[in-house]
Structure 1
Amino acid sequence: MPDEAIIPRLAGITDEAAGALTGQIRVITDLGWSGIELRSLGGRALADLPAAEAARARRAITAAGINVVALDSRIGNWARPITAPFADDLAELDALAEWCSVLGTRAVRIMSYPNDGLAEPEWRDRVLDRMHRLAQRARELGLLLLHENCAGWAGRDPERMLQLLDAGDRSALLLLFDTGNGIEHGYSARDLLPRILPHIAHVHVKDATGGPGAASYALPGSGDAQVAECLQELLAAGYDGPLSLEPHLAVRPHEGLHPGESAADLFTTAGRSLEQLLQRLVPTAEPAR
């Protein structure tokens, strides 16, 4: 990796550390990081909360001297297959647009709709149509959709991801790369990365061992997801966007968003592991905070 590689801004999906915003902010400030990625507050998805909560969140986040790097939606995720009402996704996007405006970000994480018994051609056509309409709406709202390599039609296939981008609008739709999702979903994220690298605007960091349906999550760099190799390739290519920690050590979204007493400590330990990993990759530079 070239010496001039830029260490991306460190952030975290903090509802894996605490339910309340005060606890979510605390874990980021204790780490000394500058970015927070919001998915839920008090166990409730952002889009389900009153709009007034966004202003309260902004005041607390601004007072802590940190910034919001992205909001995580339920659009197209594991709980919303392709047969689910599309109106729910459009409504969520509109609601999150208000949050984005208040919190000073335009990035919204989405996925690409698990199948629900459809033949593959119909599944594909419905996904591409929805993605086209979502990207149109996002452009109107001034948002940037970030498709994650997780649940859905394009979750594990780089060629399908590029089809999504072609169906949408690259001013309003780019890719989110998660280092650890391949373990749970049965593919190599490291092998996926080179094909989509130019289109990545956001990165989630997690690590795991095991396999589909039996993933066991680990500290960054200690599992089988080749996290170090992925980060090294990203940095060598000049990636300078957020690296957002999503360790899954205490909380997995599929199982509910209710972190226990040890969640903040586990999150902090994972954060320090990520810092140490980055220092090994770029020994001449400290992780940017």
Structure 2
Amino acid sequence: MRFAGIGDEAAADSAGQLDALRQLGWGAIELRNVDGVAIADLDDRAFDALADRIAAAGLDVVCVDSRIANWGRPINGRFEDDLSELRQLARRCATLGTRYIRVMSYPNAGLDEREWARRALDRMALLVRRAEQQGLVLLHENCSGWAGSRADRMRELLDRAGGPALRLLFDIGNGVPYGYDARALLDEIIDHVAHVHVKDARTGPDGQVTYTLPGDGESGVRSCLRALIDHGYTGAWSIEPHTHLRPHQDQNTTGTDGVAAFVRYGRCLEQLVRQEILSGRSPAGGGRHG
């Protein structure tokens, strides 16, 4: 098994992000923001310095989380922003040594269902063609957007806008805040999952969602991990704790405490996998992990 983590969930700065992965002894990182700046928006000097630090730390980059079609870019927004970000990330992913870019599928903005679907599919089809030309793979996350929480729409997205440059990213913890059963969704899309985010959450008596250690919430982490392993999943398990950082809610309390919490989260996942998921199974091969 190969463990990874979204770096800015541990710390805003690259030093803290890399230190968190070093403490865990993991060999891979997922990138989203550094010092509050998206990877595509870093100036060339800052990006080159980041790439050098990652290489010096001996880390692989498993995915870059873009803002393409995400919760901040509704279907009536400027499509050029997404095309521009994809062009920039094509160059930067080549430097970082990854083909995977996380995307979503455009939240609605007052359109009727048919028009929302038409525009989302048209845009995604063009993005996928551009990604394929650059040797990239877009990973659609079960989060915000037209196909964010419905398996039938995810399959339609793959059928009508897809190709070898479009796969699915399954986030175990998104079912709780978005109101669906994550395991039930996984069962319908599991053939197409190429990357996994490990997150867990529960809904309190007041209806508020809180994020927990993996296995302590209502997301079905154990069930989803077992299903993926039984199905032959060989990608990374990338932690996204959301305990100190929630970008879509402008919540950020990362820092020294964030690094410690991130490391604790990673250790908890390792223990859960070792003691409850892989117990009694043949030893798993694959990438490095602590």
TM-score bin (small chain): over 0.9
Q: What TM-score results when the alignment is normalised by the length of structure 2?
A: 0.94
RMSD after superposition: 1.6
Report if aligned partners of 1:16, 1:257 keep a CA contact under 8 Å in 2. no
2:268 equivalent in structure 1: 273
Matched, 1:256 2:283: no
Q: What is the distance in 2 between the residues matched to 1:288 and 1:209?
A: 31
1:1-289 equivalence runs, <5 A: 7=1, 9-210=2-203, 214-256=208-250, 258=252, 259-279=254-274, 280-283=276-279, 285=283, 288-289=288-289
Q: What is the distance in 2 between the residues matched to 1:283 and 1:132?
A: 42
1:155-203 CA distance string (max 9 Å, x none):
1100100111112232100000000001000101111001100100000
Pairwise CA distance, 1:46 = 1.0
1:242-283 CA distance string (max 9 Å, x none):
100001001101133742431111111111111011112102
Pairwise CA distance, 1:22 = 1.1
- Does 279-288 or 37-46 show the bigger shift? 279-288
Pairwise CA distance, 1:288 = 4.6
Report if aligned partners of 1:175, 1:199 keep a CA contact under 8 Å in 2. yes
Pairwise CA distance, 1:63 = 1.1
Letter in 2 for 1:165: L
Report if aligned partners of 1:51, 1:98 keep a CA contact under 8 Å in 2. no
Pairwise CA distance, 1:52 = 3.5
SS of structure 2 residue aligned to 1:145: strand
Pairwise CA distance, 1:126 = 0.3
1:181-234 CA distance string (max 9 Å, x none):
010001011110011001000000000000797210000011000000000000
Report if aligned partners of 2:10, 2:20 keep a CA contact under 8 Å in 1. yes
Q: What is the distance in 2 between the residues matched to 1:57 and 1:118?
A: 40
Q: What is the distance in 2 between the residues matched to 1:63 and 1:132?
A: 37
Q: What is the distance in 2 between the residues matched to 1:213 and 1:267?
A: 25
Q: What TM-score results when the alignment is normalised by the length of structure 1?
A: 0.94
Could you tell me which runs of 5 or more consecutive residues in structure 2 were left unpaired when the two chains were aligned.
none
Report if aligned partners of 2:244, 2:251 keep a CA contact under 8 Å in 1. no
SS of structure 2 residue aligned to 1:262: helix
Pairwise CA distance, 1:152 = 0.5
Q: What is the distance in 2 between the residues matched to 1:121 and 1:169?
A: 19
Report if aligned partners of 1:228, 1:281 keep a CA contact under 8 Å in 2. yes
- Matched residue pairs, number? 282
Percentage of matched positions with identical amino acids? 50
Could you tell me which runs of 5 or more consecutive residues in structure 1 were left unpaired when the two chains were aligned.
1-6
Letter in 1 for 2:17: Q
Report if aligned partners of 1:13, 1:245 keep a CA contact under 8 Å in 2. yes
SS of structure 1 residue aligned to 2:20: helix
Give 4+ residue runs of structure 1 displaced > 6 Å after superposition.
none
1:43–1:213 Cα change, 3 Å:
farther
